[in-house]
């Protein structure tokens, strides 16, 4: 058996980030964690573009536009949907998740799902915190791994 090598090496990769401004006290931490881990893996900070949108519901469309542009090897989607704050949690969270998945499948560009869906603000803060859950860093890892894997599979 031969395992396909997908090193977590971001050298030369270009990455787009889309972040929802709603609950930006959470999204800011996710952005910081994603950016720091991308740079730690060798992605040039100048090769990371960040686009803010109103909320998680808007994230998929912006992510698709980034993916379709041909300028990015991967797109990371960040945001926070918190159940306690909205009766339409399930719609916002569900549409964000399925739209983000479709953006990746339809464009062939890895689109990573970093929109937190939690019951409470505290849960969201813990998962986003760069010193605790650091979900942003996990998304950076997934973006680089998928970019490398797809390049290997397509070569």
**42 sits in which H/E element:** none
Is residue 56 close enough to count as binding ligand INI by CB under 6 A? yes
Do residues 64 and 107 make contact, with C-beta atoms less than 8 angstroms apart? Answer: yes
| Coil vs helix vs strand at 13 | coil
Site map (CB under 6 A) of ligand INI, residues 8-37, x = contact: ------------x-xx--------------
Query: Tokens 């686009």 sit at which residue?
Result: 51
105 is catalytic: no
**Residue closer to ligand INI, measured from CB, 10 or 20:** 20
Query: What is the C-alpha radius of gyration for the chain, rounded to an integer number of angstroms?
Result: 15
Which is catalytic among the residues 12, 40, 88, 105? 88
Do residues 53 and 62 make contact, with C-beta atoms less than 8 angstroms apart? Answer: yes
In the set 10, 16, 33, 79, which binds ligand INI (CB under 6 A)?
79
In the set 15, 62, 80, 146, which binds ligand INI (CB under 6 A)?
80
Question: Of 8, 53, 25, which is closest to residue 16 (Cα–Cα)?
Answer: 53
In the set 75, 82, 100, 111, which binds ligand INI (CB under 6 A)?
82
Shortest distance in whole angstroms from residue 113 CB to ligand INI? 13
Residues contacting ligand INI: total by CB under 6 A: 15
Q: Which segments within the chain are labelled E, that is strand?
A: 15-20, 48-53, 74-82, 111-118
Annotated catalytic residues are: 88
Q: Which residues bind ligand INI (CB under 6 A)?
A: 20, 22-23, 54-58, 79-82, 85-86, 92
């Amino acid at each position: 058996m031969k395992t396909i090598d997908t090193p977590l090496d971001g050298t030369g990769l270009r990455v787009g980030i889309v972040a929802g401004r709603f609950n930006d006290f959470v999204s800011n931490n996710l952005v910081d964690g994603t950016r720091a881990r991308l740079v730690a893996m060798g992605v040039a900070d100048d090769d990371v573009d960040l686009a803010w949108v109103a909320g998680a519901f808007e994230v998929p469309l912006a992510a698709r536009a980034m993916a379709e542009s041909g300028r990015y090897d991967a797109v990371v989607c960040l945001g926070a949907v918190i159940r306690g704050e909205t009766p339409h949690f399930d719609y916002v969270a569900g549409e964000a998740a399925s739209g983000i998945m479709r953006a990746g499948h339809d464009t062939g560009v890895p689109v990573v799902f970093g929109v937190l869906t939690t019951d409470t603000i505290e849960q969201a803060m813990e998962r986003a915190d760069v010193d605790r859950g650091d979900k942003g860093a996990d998304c950076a890892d997934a973006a680089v791994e998928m970019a490398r894997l797809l390049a290997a599979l397509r070569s």
